[in-house]
Amino acid sequence: MQFAPLYPILYPILKRTFPNCLWSGSPQRKAIALTFDDGPHPKYTPQLLQVLDRYNITASFFWLGACVKAAPTVAREVYQQGHWIGLHGYHHRSFPLLKPDALKESLEKTQDAICQACQFEPKHIRDVRPPNGLFTPQTLKLLHQWQYRPVMWSVVPEDWVSPGVEVVVRRVIQQVRNGSLIVLHDGYHGGEDVAQTTNRLIPQLLQQGYKFVTIEELSTF
C-alpha cells in the first residue's frame, strides 16, 4: 500500500504540532529545496550529480554513514560540487528504536565517516533527518540537546517504492508550493530512477519560476 496521498494531509498537522523542526521555507518566496536521502550510492548518485550539474542546481543530501563508508569517493564528489550535507543515521534504523547512547553514536559515526570521506576537518554537521520520517518528542529533545536541527519535509512523492518516473514527477508538481522541501532518494530504494526523475522535474519547476536553494538557505527565508 502506498501512503503518498496521505503526506499532504499529515504535513500541516505535524508542522503545527512540532514547530521546532524545519518543515519548509517561507510561503512568500518562490524558493524550494531539493533533498536526497539514503545515499551516497556508487551508481545512482553520480548519475544524479550529472543532472544537477547540467542545470547548475545545488541540492541537499542526507547520508547514511554506512553508505558513505562504502562509497567515499562519491561522497567526496558531492561535497566538492558544493552540495549541502546532512545526517540520516549510520544505518537506516528508525531513531525511536534506538536508545539515546546508540542514537548519539549513530550520528557521530556518520559525521566522522563524512569528514573522512570528504577530507575536511571534523566539524559539527547540524542537520539531521530521521529515517522514515519517524520521531518522538523524546527524539527531538535529544537532537536539540545535542545541537542538531531536525529537518523534515513538505513534499514526499514516495519514490522509494518505485511507482515510476511519471508518477513521482506528477506528485511533486501537484504538491509543490513556495518554500517546499522536497524529498527524493538516491539510495538502494528508489535511487534507480532518481536521475531521470530529477531531470524531468527541474526544468518544469524552473519554468514555474521556482529557485532551488539548499536547506541552509531555505531556513533563512
107-130 pLDDT, tens digit each: 999 999 999 999 987 677 999 999
Distances (CA, A) of 179 to 29, 130, 153, 173: 6, 20, 10, 14
At 35-81, the pLDDT tens digits run 999 999 999 999 999 999 999 999 999 999 999 999 999 999 999 99
For the question of residue 92 being annotated catalytic, the response is no
Read off the pLDDT band of 154 (50, 70, 90).
very high
Q: Give buried/exposed letters for 18-46 (b at 16+ CB in 10 A, else e).
A: eeebbbbbeeeebbbbbbbbbbbbeebbb
Residue 200's Cβ-side half-sphere holds a number of Cα atoms within 13 Å equal to 15
Q: What pLDDT score was predicted for residue 221?
A: 62
What SS3 state is found at 121?
A: coil
**Which single residue is written with the C-alpha cell 542538531?**
148
What percent of the chain lies above the pLDDT cut of 90? 86
Q: How many CB atoms lie within 10 A of CB 99?
A: 8
Which residue of the set 41, 83, 88, 185 is catalytic?
Answer: 185
At 19-32, the pLDDT tens digits run 999 999 999 999 99
* Contact of 22 with 189, CB cutoff 8 Å: no
For the question of residue 185 being annotated catalytic, the response is yes
Q: What pLDDT score was predicted for residue 2?
A: 62
Read off the pLDDT band of 7 (50, 70, 90).
confident
Q: What is the mean pLDDT of the chain?
A: 94
At 166-207, the pLDDT tens digits run 999 999 999 999 999 999 999 999 899 999 999 999 999 999
- How far apart are alpha carbons 80 and 174 in whole angstroms? 33
| Domain residue limits at 123 | 4-220
Q: Please state at what angle helix 194-207 crosses helix 44-54, rounded to 10 degrees.
A: 20
**Which single residue is written with the C-alpha cell 575536511?**
120
Name the domain count of the chain. 1
What CATH number is given to the structural domain containing 178? 3.20.20.370
At 79-89, the pLDDT tens digits run 999 999 999 99
Which residue of the set 37, 38, 159, 193 is catalytic?
Answer: 37
Q: What pLDDT score was predicted for residue 113?
A: 97
Inform me whether the pLDDT recorded for 1 exceeds 50: no
Q: What pLDDT score was predicted for residue 94?
A: 95
What percent of the chain lies above the pLDDT cut of 70? 97
Q: Which amino acid is present at 161?
A: V
Please tell me the pTM assigned to this model.
0.95
Which element (helix H / strand E) includes 86? Answer: strand 84-87
